[in-house]
Structures are given as C-alpha cells and as structure tokens.
C-alpha cells in the first residue's frame, strides 16, 4: 500500500508541474489535443472491431486447451452473426463449461434473482451460475479447465455487477493458476468519470473497489486495474491477457445492439442508469415494471401537481414484483432528456424534498449503491447538487491518476 501511495503521489506532483508549465509546454499540449481529436474523428468513421472478433489474436492461446467461457447474451460477434460460444465451437475450440453472471446466460432473469446451473440447450455445454450463493467459481468448478475466456458487455457503472463477476473470476483463476483472456468491448459511458469514490467499509457485490460510480474504463482496462492495484484477495495476481479493440477511443459513440440486461432496454436507459440507479436505494420506482426502465421515475406519494407524468408498474421480464406494482405513480419522463456527461443529482434531491415520506425515502441499499454514507447525509442536510459534486473533486482527481496507468485507448 505504501508503494502505491508513493507512486500515486509522484504522479500527482508530476501532473501538477505539467499543469503549471511554460507556454511552450501548453502549446505542445494543444497540439496533442488536436492530434487526439483528429484521431477520434477518424476512428468514429471506422467500425469498432471487438476483441472477440479478432480470433487470430487469441486462437493460439486456446489451441489444445479445455476452455471455460464467462458469457451472457451480449457475448455476440456481430460480424459472424454468432454467439461467442457457438463461434468457438465452430472453430473446434474445446469449450467445456460456460459461467453465467447475474441475469443468466440468456439474460432474462430479474436483478438479484437466483439463477440455477444447467445445460445450454443449443450446445450441450454445462452452465454454471455465478450469481446468488456462488458468485465466485469454486476450485471444483474450475477443475479440468486450462484457460478462461471472459466476454461480457459492461455499461461503465460501478454498481453494474458484471465487473464484480470479473473480479471473482480473476481471483478464482489466479488461485487455480488458470490464465484469463478478456475480450474487450466498448464502454457506452466511457467518455466521462463521475460520482463518489467507494469507501472500503461499504464494499459489496454492487461495489467492490475504491472507484467512482462512473469509472470511464472498458472491461479490459478495468481488469488490468484489478490486477495492477492488488485488489484480488491476498494481492494475488491473475495471468491476464486483454485482447484489445480496434478503432475505439473513449469518445467513440457506441450503441449496444443487444440489451445488456432486462432493465436496460436501450441507449437512453444506459446513459441515464448511473443517475437513476440511486433510486433503487430509495422509496422511488425507477421504471421497473414498465418498458421505460431507467428512463422514468415516480411514486404514488410524489405530488401530481409537480410530477405530472403517470405510469403504473406491472410484472414483466426482469421485474416480476416491481415497486408499487399495480399502483399509479406520479413522476418524471426522461426518455427525451439530452445525453448526460455527468451524474444528475437534481432528480434525486428534488424527489427527496417533494416526497411526503422523507423518513422512509432511503433504504439500506442506498449506501451500498453510493459506496459512502456521505451522499445520503448530504441530501438530508439540504446540500445542493453542486455542493455535493464539489466534495467529489479530490477523489476523482486521484482516481484519474491511477486510471491513467491502465488505459488501452485514448
């Protein structure tokens, strides 16, 4: 820990010196920025090539090996029009087991729902759930596996549990001496960093590491950070290979062709998710039980005079028992909200102040989502969104320095 602190302190000093440099240095910085902008413009005109689609880069690592695959419905090769598991089998790769995260292999289970082990009906490959009581592959489950391939679409939010699954897969494989290959995919919220930093005492499956809510990294970059920062148990290291994308930058817009989970149905929901997921730790419904998940929010107790949008949650895919099922909710429709480049706290603060049940507004899940008790206390004390955001600045600056060591893309 001391070495990491010293390394980050040196980096912070260097960053400060650069920011106070001469006009010549600033001119060089402007030229670098211009070159990066030109590169981004060029890359935006070219199709992103995912890690999974570059079989020639990782085929030798699978040759003659018994392979485990961590995958779900997003593990799809657009160019091949095939799921990764089907593609690997067609290439004569010996896929022995598939490990599925929250929502299951086909991605239809509710958030938090127990997913059972089974067999994939299409391929006959055994399926092992990495959710519920078995979030980390056991050594018995990894027995006979020579290499694990991880290919899941993330959305760039700390509380989206696929990166927690990544942690446990890396940890279990490191303990078993099994290498992990991460096939990288874009982060649809990868162009910004925002939110409070998670504090260690609030660690949970919806937040395992000291990072902000929006971390601005691809899942491959994040895997490198997990390894490099010594976040695996006993600081063990995973033998990690990241198959990088082509034609991708953190500014490259990317629309997901397959919804990453049942309650993130489209790009608008994915963009609003880092802001609206806080409502999951409150009295408020965030659109579950509708086809507008994470694009609306509401509750019966919000005043209809201010919250004029109305909807009634019902059972549906991914939400069998949503908050206020069958009850009319007064709320706000955000489906046409402009694209966010920061977390919006105003909606949360306004709903807290307008709701008639302030004592019941927050539940115990809120602190886990926020990663800190401070956010709830700040809202209860009446701080404005800007005052709260100011309290994040130091942590975000320090995180940017650490993050910079693991980036694979501009």
Least confident window among 98-112, 187-201, 390-404: 98-112
pTM comes to: 0.87
Checking if the pLDDT of 14 tops 50, the result is no
Give me the number of domains the chain comprises.
3
With CA atoms as reference, report the closest residue to 374 among 356, 392, 360.
392
**Tokens 């909606």 sit at which residue?**
347
Domain assignment present for 35:
yes
Extract the runs of DSSP E, i.e. beta strands, from 258-347. Answer: 296-299, 309-311, 329-333
Is residue 200 located within the same domain as residue 339? no
CA distances for 145 relative to 101, 169, 170, 202, angstroms: 18, 13, 14, 34
Is residue 346 located within the same domain as residue 320? yes
Q: Which domain holds residue 125?
A: 55-256
Domain assignment present for 408:
no
Token pair belonging to 196: 């409070």
The span from the first CA to the last CA of the chain, in angstroms, equals: 28
Average pLDDT value for residue range 244-252 = 97
Percent of the chain with pLDDT over 90: 80
Checking if the pLDDT of 233 tops 60, the result is yes
DSSP code at position 376: H
Name the maximum alpha-carbon separation found in the chain. Answer: 66
Domain assignment present for 395:
no
Token pair belonging to 183: 């096939």
Least confident window among 31-45, 69-83, 299-313, 378-392: 31-45
Residue 362: strand pairing partners? 282
pLDDT of residue 120: 82
Is residue 131 located within the same domain as residue 76? yes
State whether residue 151 is helix, strand or coil.
strand
Is residue 171 located within the same domain as residue 95? yes
Is residue 112 located within the same domain as residue 232? yes
């Amino acid at each position: 820990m001391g070495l990491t602190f010293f390394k980050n302190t040196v980096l912070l000093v260097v960053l400060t010196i650069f920011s106070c440099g001469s006009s010549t240095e600033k001119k060089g910085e402007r030229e670098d920025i211009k070159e990066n902008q030109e590169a981004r413009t060029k890359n935006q005109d070219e199709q992103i090539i995912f890690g999974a689609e570059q079989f020639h880069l990782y085929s030798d690592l699978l040759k003659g090996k018994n392979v485990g695959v961590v995958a779900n419905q997003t593990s799809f090769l657009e160019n091949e029009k095939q799921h990764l598991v089907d593609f690997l089998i067609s290439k004569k790769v010996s896929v022995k087991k598939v490990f599925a995260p929250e929502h299951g292999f086909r991605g239809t289970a509710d958030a938090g729902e127990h997913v059972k082990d089974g067999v994939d009906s299409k391929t006959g490959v055994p399926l092992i759930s990495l959710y519920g009581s078995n979030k980390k592959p056991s050594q018995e489950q990894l027995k006979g596996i020579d290499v694990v391939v991880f290919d899941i679409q993330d959305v760039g939010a700390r509380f989206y549990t696929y990166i927690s699954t990544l942690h446990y897969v890396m940890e279990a494989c490191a303990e078993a001496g099994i290498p992990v290959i991460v096939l990288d995919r874009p982060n649809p919220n990868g162009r910004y960093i925002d939110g409070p930093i998670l504090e260690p005492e609030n660690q949970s499956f919806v937040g395992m590491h000291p990072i902000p809510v929006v971390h601005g990294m691809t899942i491959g970059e994040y895997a490198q950070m997990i390894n490099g920062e010594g976040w695996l148990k006993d600081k063990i290291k995973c033998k990690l290979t990241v198959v990088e994308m082509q034609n991708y930058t953190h500014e490259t817009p990317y629309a997901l062709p397959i919804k990453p989970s049942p309650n993130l149905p489209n790009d608008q929901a994915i963009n609003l998710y880092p802001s609206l997921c806080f409502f999951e730790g409150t009295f408020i419904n965030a659109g579950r039980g509708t086809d507008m998940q994470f694009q609306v929010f509401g509750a019966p107790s919000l005043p209809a005079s201010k919250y004029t949008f109305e909807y009634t949650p019902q059972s549906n895919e991914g939400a069998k028992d949503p908050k206020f099922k069958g009850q009319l909710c007064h709320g706000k429709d955000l489906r046409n909200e402009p694209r966010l480049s920061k977390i919006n706290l105003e909606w949360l603060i306004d709903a807290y102040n307008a709701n008639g049940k302030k004592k019941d507004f927050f539940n115990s899940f809120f602190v886990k989502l926020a990663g800190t008790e401070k956010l709830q206390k700040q809202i209860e004390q009446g701080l404005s969104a800007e005052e709260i955001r100011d309290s994040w600045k130091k942590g975000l600056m320090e995180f940017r320095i650490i993050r910079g060591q693991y980036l694979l893309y501009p």
